[in-house]
Amino acid sequence: MRRIWLLALAATAIVVFPTSALASSAHHHKKKKTSTKSAAYKSGTYKATSSEFGEKFTIALTGGKVSLPASTIINCKSLNLTNPAAGFVAPAALSASGSITEHAPLSVESVPGAPPLTGQATFSVTFTKQGTASGYLEESLAGTFGKEPVSCASGKEPFTAKLG
């Protein structure tokens, strides 16, 4: 009789132990909640303001591509010139980090009839996933006034932007 009770107890233990182990395992391996936040940068028109001069302009972010559709003014401090930052209308791909820096050739007529000043404009922006951006515009120009060589560098003109 003792053997029958021993066998019954052993059989019960064999059935109960794996079942309780599975229940315990299922309890400990529940799926973690996943975030519903999008990993993408927010597309749209960002309204930007230059920190240094208060100049307002827009930046477009559409389908992972960035463009500066409206010209903004860059101030050339050494020659007291204000020039439109052009050449950034064609959309350029945003990096996975949310940043882009673009360079474009620049030609500006400084004095009517004189050869234009030529150089380069730079547009740099970094987007956040919260719908803000910051960056800078910069230009450097060189040429002549009469026989005198002249150059102009704006320095980095910082800006901040917010999805509008």
User: For the segment 138-150, what is each residue's pLDDT rounded down to a tens digit?
Assistant: 888 888 877 888 8
Tokens of 58: 């827009």
pLDDT, one tens digit per residue, over 40-80 is: 899 999 999 987 777 888 999 999 999 987 666 666 766 66
pTM, two decimal places:
0.69
